[in-house]
Structures are given as structure tokens and as C-alpha cells.
């Protein structure tokens, strides 16, 4: 699998009289984990929605696809009516097959869904109502749907919201595996320490591009120090085998 590369060139977005994005230009390399960070209301989700063709904008967003043009998408949160009679399996079925979910799944689809549920630790929840799951469990379900059919581009809009540590690790492992298999990941993420651990590249957006580059380079600049005053830098690797890597910690964590 070869994930796509994406190029944003002079992207502008106005909603009414408010300018949401101004002259945004940067690129996302194939087979990388690219994190987009920024303050609330800074235009991160709008930027992603422009990329997905959901918001009218000016400027160019070019996606260079390989053979696979599938996008997996994990929204920030799946707000649903808790009393809705839609089980975990129903949700995965309706998202991934054409046959009406109330008629059940084909054998092939049933196997795929079972595998997914196992991978994301949801086998015991398969027949539970989606609305009865905790926020973290539901987020894992939504993540699981994004993996079928196998995407080339994975777009994550703060998927860790509401996840506990164990749930977060499951998703983190899946994202890393996806990128190592050649997929491209675009990830809106607020957790700067996590960004430093997983991102190949980060872009800080606040209406326009404030920072763009590899985390270790970008986060040591003066601008980054102002944006993230709680960050500290340790000149040692977590495993202690090399002094060349810089580990970033957030005070209080």
C-alpha cells in the first residue's frame, strides 16, 4: 500500500464575514503520520473538512493517490441518541456494506467485522447498543469502521477524546501499524507530548500556518516555547541508549 501525498497551496476559507483560514500552504508526505495542532477555533477541523471536500474554499488542495483511493475517517465524537437500537455490529455493518444492516452480513463481511472487533478489543461488546458504550469504547468502534475497507489515507479528528490509557494504546498501535504498512495519516491532535512521540511531522494552524516541520526541530523554536510554555526538553532518549534524541515532556504529566 502506498498512501497519498497532499499539498495545500494558498488555501483560504471564509464563513460569512469571518476568515477561518488564511493563505495556508504546506504539504503532507506519503506514508507519514502528520499531526495538525492548534488552539481551539484555529481552523484545524475546517482545514481537514476542506481537504475532504466538505467546505467550499479557495486555493488548491492536491491529493496524489496511488492505486488505493480509500479514505478512513474518524470524527471527533459520534454524538448519537443513546436509546437508538443500533448495536456495535449494526454500526460496522451499515458503514461497510451495501446490503441493509437489518438483513445481516455476508459471510465474508461477518468475518471482517469479527476480526476488527477482536483487534480493537470489542468482541464482548459486539451486540451492545452503540449508545450504551462509554465514550472511549464508542470511539474505538468508530476507529474500527475507518479501517474497512483498508484505507490509503487515515484522517483522525482528535480520536483520543474520552479514551482511557488502554483504549488510547490500542488506537495508537493501530495508527503506527497503518503508517508502517505505507498509509498516510493526517491527525488532529491536542496532546503535544503524544504528537512528539508519534508524529513524523507537525503543523500548527491558527488561521494560518504558525509552525511546520519535524516535531523535534519545530518544538525547540522560540515560537514553540511561547505556544507551549509548559514543555521541557530532556537531552536523553527514553531508553537511554543515545543522547542524540530529545524527549519532550509536559509539566504535570
Partner 1 sequence: MNALYDAIRTLFVDAAYEGTINFMFSYEFVVNGFLCALIVGPLLGAMGTMVVIKRMAFFSQAVGNAALTGVAIGVILGESYTAPYVSMFSFCILFGLLLNFTRNRTKMSSDTLIGVFLSISLAVGATALLFVSAKVNTHILDTVMFGSILTVNNLDINVLLVTALITAAVALPLYNQMLLASLNPNLAHVRGVNVHFLEYVFVLLITILTVACVKIVGAVLVEALLLIPAAAARNLNTSIRGFVVWSVIFSTFSCVFGVYAPMAYDLPIPSGGAIVLTAAVIFFATLLIRMVMPRFREAAF
Please, which residues bridge with residue 252 across strands?
A: none
The least distance separating partner 1 from the CB of residue 201, rounded to whole angstroms, comes to 22
Nearer to partner 1, 103 or 165 (CB): 103
Among 1, 63, 95, 172, binds partner 1 (CB under 8 A): 95
Nearer to partner 1, 178 or 204 (CB): 178
Other Cβ atoms less than 10 A from the Cβ of 234: the count is 11
Among 49, 176, 190, 197, binds partner 1 (CB under 8 A): 49
Residue that is written with C-alpha cell 474554499 in the block? 57
Q: Is 21 exposed, middle or buried (0-12, 13-18, 19+ CB in 10 A)?
A: buried
Q: Is 153 exposed, middle or buried (0-12, 13-18, 19+ CB in 10 A)?
A: buried
Sheet containing strand 184-188, edge to edge, reads 71-74, 153-157, 184-188, 33-37, 201-206, 208-213
Among 1, 61, 63, 80, binds partner 1 (CB under 8 A): 80
C-beta separation of 53 from 63 below 8 A: no
The residue range among 78-86, 159-167, 191-199, 219-227 that interacts with partner 1, by the rule CB under 8 A, is: 78-86
The least distance separating partner 1 from the CB of residue 187, rounded to whole angstroms, comes to 15
Measure the CA–CA gap between 252 and 170, rounded to whole angstroms: 24
Nearer to partner 1, 185 or 210 (CB): 185
Nearer to partner 1, 102 or 222 (CB): 102
Instruction: Based on the shown chain and the rule CB under 8 A, indicate whether residue 226 belongs to the binding site for partner 1.
Output: no
**All cell numbers assigned to 34:** 502528520
Q: Is 61 exposed, middle or buried (0-12, 13-18, 19+ CB in 10 A)?
A: middle
Measure the CA–CA gap between 21 and 250, rounded to whole angstroms: 28
Total number of residues binding partner 1 (CB under 8 A)?
Answer: 38
Task: Enumerate residues 107-166 that contact partner 1 by CB under 8 A.
Answer: 127-129, 131-132, 142, 145, 155
The least distance separating partner 1 from the CB of residue 10, rounded to whole angstroms, comes to 24
Write the DSSP assignment of 78-120 as a string of letters. Answer: ----TT---BHHHHHHHHH-SS-GGG---HHHHHHHHHHHHHT
Among 1, 61, 63, 94, binds partner 1 (CB under 8 A): 94
Nearer to partner 1, 95 or 231 (CB): 95
Q: What is the CA radius of gyration of the chain?
A: 19
Task: Enumerate residues 164-183 that contact partner 1 by CB under 8 A.
Answer: none
Nearer to partner 1, 142 or 248 (CB): 142
β-strand pairing of 184-188 with 18-28: unpaired
Nearer to partner 1, 41 or 104 (CB): 104
Chain positions contacting partner 1, by CB under 8 A: 49, 52-54, 71, 73, 75, 78-80, 82-87, 89-91, 93-95, 97-104, 127-129, 131-132, 142, 145, 155
Amino acid at each position: 500500500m502506498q498512501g497519498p501525498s497532499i499539498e495545500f497551496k494558498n488555501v483560504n476559507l471564509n464563513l460569512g464575514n469571518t476568515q477561518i483560514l488564511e493563505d495556508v500552504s504546506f504539504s503532507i508526505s506519503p506514508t507519514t503520520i502528520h499531526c495538525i495542532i492548534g488552539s481551539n477555533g484555529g481552523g484545524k477541523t475546517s482545514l481537514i473538512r476542506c481537504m475532504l471536500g466538505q467546505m467550499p474554499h479557495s486555493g488548491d488542495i492536491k491529493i496524489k493517490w496511488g492505486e488505493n483511493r480509500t479514505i478512513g475517517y474518524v470524527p471527533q465524537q459520534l454524538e448519537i441518541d443513546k436509546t437508538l437500537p443500533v448495536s456495535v455490529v449494526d454500526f460496522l455493518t451499515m458503514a461497510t456494506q451495501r446490503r441493509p444492516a437489518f438483513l445481516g452480513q455476508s459471510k465474508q463481511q461477518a468475518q471482517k467485522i469479527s476480526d476488527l472487533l477482536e483487534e480493537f478489543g470489542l468482541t464482548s461488546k459486539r451486540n451492545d447498543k452503540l449508545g450504551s458504550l462509554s465514550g472511549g469504547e464508542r470511539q474505538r468502534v468508530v476507529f474500527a469502521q475507518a479501517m474497512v475497507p483498508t484505507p490509503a489515507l487515515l484522517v483522525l479528528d482528535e480520536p483520543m477524546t474520552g479514551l482511557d490509557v488502554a483504549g488510547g494504546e490500542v488506537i495508537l498501535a493501530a495508527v503506527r501499524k497503518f503508517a508502517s504498512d505505507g498509509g498516510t495519516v493526517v491527525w488532529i491532535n491536542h496532546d503535544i507530548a503524544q504528537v512528539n512521540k508519534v508524529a513524523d511531522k507537525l503543523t500548527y494552524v491558527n488561521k494560518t500556518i504558525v509552525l511546520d516541520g519535524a516535531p523535534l526541530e519545530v518544538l525547540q523554536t522560540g515560537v514553540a516555547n511561547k505556544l507551549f510554555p509548559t514543555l521541557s526538553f530532556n537531552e536523553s532518549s527514553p531508553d537511554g541508549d543515545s543522547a542524540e534524541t530529545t524527549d519532550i515532556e509536559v509539566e504535570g504529566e
